A and B are shown apart, each in its own frame.
Chain A
Amino acid sequence: MLQVNGIHKRFGRNTVLNQLTFSAVDGEIIGLVGENGAGKSTLLKLLATLDLPDAGSITLEGKSYTKQLKEVRKRIGFVPQDIVLWEHFTVAENMRFFEKLSWTKKSTTALQSLCAQMKLDKWEEKVSTLSGGMKRKLNLAISMIHDPKLLLLDEPTVGIDLKSRKEIGAYLQKEAKENNKIILYTSHDMDEIIHLCDRVICIGEDQFYHDLLIREGKSCLLLT
């Protein structure tokens, strides 16, 4: 379970997040939506331990972000918006490279199977020759090597074709429902959010938040 309590973040005089509180249970997919500059990426960075809140606390599976940072980080998978891959490596070499530095050891078969789950089958191909969709899948696969509990994705499907988008969506739903992962991701595509997520956190102007429950992929119920 992820618990966020009254977090506050500001840059200079500009308050980006103010008293934000929410929680996420295992198997839940939460979409973060809002205008550009509303604070989606800042929230994702705070949840990813890449930045510190000015006030408030966050816990993941009971582990405090400030007191048990190392333990928390072992449980987080972060998919940055930028594709962070070795372009001159093959898919296999990229997976091997990050596996070697990862918390968990995985065999080549396990790594190959991870890629196959998201329909990334070009194992021996150079990354520079892959399509944008394939690169996004590999970007995601690398973040899943250590089998994280919380998966944070910053616009993971931006600029890719519909087929790859659906394949990534299907993979995320499977991970959440079958493996009890908590998934939070930002997107500007409301159709995708409604189709994929269980809940949506809307970050509005003046630090006004809505927590929406999505039912049957269509209607939303305002929670807060």
Chain B
Amino acid sequence: MKSIWITRWLHWKKQLISLLFWLFLPLFGTIIIIQAAHAFQEDAQIPIGLVLHDDSPFAQQLYSDIAASPFVQVQILQEKDALKQLEAHDLDSVFVIEEDYGEQIQKGNRKNVITAYRSDLSFAYSPIKEMVVSLVQQETGRSKAAFYVMRLAEKYPPYEKRWSWEEITSKSKEIQKEEDLLTSTFSFFGETKKQGSSSRLWDPNPWGIWGLFLILSTFFLFDWMVKEREKKLTSRFAFMRISFSAYLLGNAFLYLLLFLIIDSLSFVILQRIYDSSISTELFLSIITFRWMTVAGSFIIALCVKNIYTLYGTGLAIVLLFAITSGVILPTDLFPNSMGWVYTYHPITYLLHNKPIWNWLALFLFIIALWYIRKENSNAPSKWHS
């Protein structure tokens, strides 16, 4: 193994920059993609101003509901400042919640509770106004319904329990939340929260993105196998202490060790950035995923004859996984009959922090068969000619 390490080091030191680039691509690629996605989504949000003249819970609730929308960026301002910013076109529109907003909502009155301002460049005014109006209508409707229930209870005694307005509206909100009538089921594999509860339109799992970059970088780094077979180096190995198949396996093992060092570092860094807890399940999942990717790249590199086929295969696999894994596209786009794809999808294991033993075992079995066949061959060079 020491001999293989020295011979590999002779190669690595000649291509150190390229090697480091591909080794750290999964880590930096993930950070860049996720930060870019977040930054883009923040930039894409429409800035609106909200002036709160009423400090009732209803006004606070309306503010929270508007702020929860992934499409808008809400700023609480004084009316004067808000209008100044609107004139300067720093804000798309301004909504003023009037003094008696809470009182009027409780009464079920929807007239003149909010004043809205727009400029000649307010391109998103109409949809935002519709959203605000629907939220107000929702609250007034709920309030009206609560008063109606209370009146019915008074009108048709006997009743076992008298419900307060607060109890009725809070029960109504509870039911709405449970039934989730207006929340889309748009979801990504591995996400623990639904889109409805996220403040972002696209909030990808960092390990999903990392997994895709990892596959790409492993394929590109495994071009050494194709290059060394292309060189007809195998004819020399017949007269060497180490067989060509052992040389390939030894080198793949060295790459695996190097990858695992970088992956451990990536694990700590990504956990720090995106999640505070260090999970052993995730770490095991990462190790097995990397091992599986190395084994898979090894098998494919054995099958192809030029590096461009290897690169193309790597890109195709990454593209296929990006589409089918749920990391980039929502899984709802695919029919239920394709559920088995997700069950056995390598990225799914990573997203669910599960070790990927089945694929790893399959690939190792194929490699073992190949190795035994080569070692038993009387003329080992035959297979590559």
Number of chain B residues close to chain A: CB under 8 A: 22
B240 at the interface (CB under 8 A from A): yes
- Distance between Cα atoms of A102 and B382 in the complex (Å): 21
Surface stretch bound by A, among B2-10, B23-31, B39-47, B190-198? B2-10
B121 at the interface (CB under 8 A from A): no
B233 at the interface (CB under 8 A from A): yes
Given A100-B3, A100-B7, A101-B247 in contact, is the A48-B14 Cβ separation under 8 Å?
no
Contact present for B238 and A48 (CB under 8 Å) = yes
A167 at the interface (CB under 8 A from B): no
Given A84-B232, A84-B235, A84-B236 in contact, is the A101-B382 Cβ separation under 8 Å?
no
Contact present for B6 and A89 (CB under 8 Å) = no
- Distance between Cα atoms of A112 and B231 in the complex (Å): 24
Closest beta carbon of chain A to B291's beta carbon, Å: 26
Contact present for B232 and A98 (CB under 8 Å) = no
B237 at the interface (CB under 8 A from A): yes
B239 at the interface (CB under 8 A from A): yes
Closest beta carbon of chain B to A176's beta carbon, Å: 19
B80 at the interface (CB under 8 A from A): no
- Distance between Cα atoms of A48 and B239 in the complex (Å): 9
From B4, B235, B240, A80 is in contact (CB under 8 Å) with: B235
- Distance between Cα atoms of A76 and B4 in the complex (Å): 22
B241 at the interface (CB under 8 A from A): yes
Closest beta carbon of chain B to A185's beta carbon, Å: 16
Closest beta carbon of chain A to B373's beta carbon, Å: 16
Contact present for B235 and A78 (CB under 8 Å) = yes
B184 at the interface (CB under 8 A from A): no
Contact present for B14 and A84 (CB under 8 Å) = no
B368 at the interface (CB under 8 A from A): no
Closest beta carbon of chain B to A110's beta carbon, Å: 17
B379 at the interface (CB under 8 A from A): yes
- Distance between Cα atoms of A12 and B238 in the complex (Å): 25
How would residues 75 to 110 of chain A score, 1 for a CB under 8 Å from any chain B CB and 0 otherwise?
011101010101011000100111011110000000
A135 at the interface (CB under 8 A from B): no
B242 at the interface (CB under 8 A from A): yes
Cβ–Cβ < 8 Å partners of B237 in chain A: 101
Contact present for A96 and B10 (CB under 8 Å) = yes
Within 8 A of B (CB), among A173-195: none
Residues of B participating in the A interface, judged by any CB pair closer than 8 Å: 3-4, 6-7, 10, 14, 231-233, 235-242, 247, 378-379, 381-382
6 A–B contacts, CB within 8 A, in A order: A50-B379, A73-B239, A82-B232, A84-B236, A98-B236, A143-B239
Residues of A participating in the B interface, judged by any CB pair closer than 8 Å: 48-52, 66, 69, 73-74, 76-78, 80, 82, 84, 86, 88-89, 93, 96-98, 100-103, 142-143, 146, 148
Known: A50-B382, A52-B379, A101-B7. 15 other contacts (CB 8 A): A50-B379, A51-B379, A52-B378, A74-B239, A77-B239, A78-B238, A86-B10, A86-B231, A97-B7, A98-B240, A101-B237, A102-B240, A103-B241, A143-B239, A148-B239
Interface pairs A-B: 3 shortest CB-CB: A100-B3, A101-B240, A50-B381
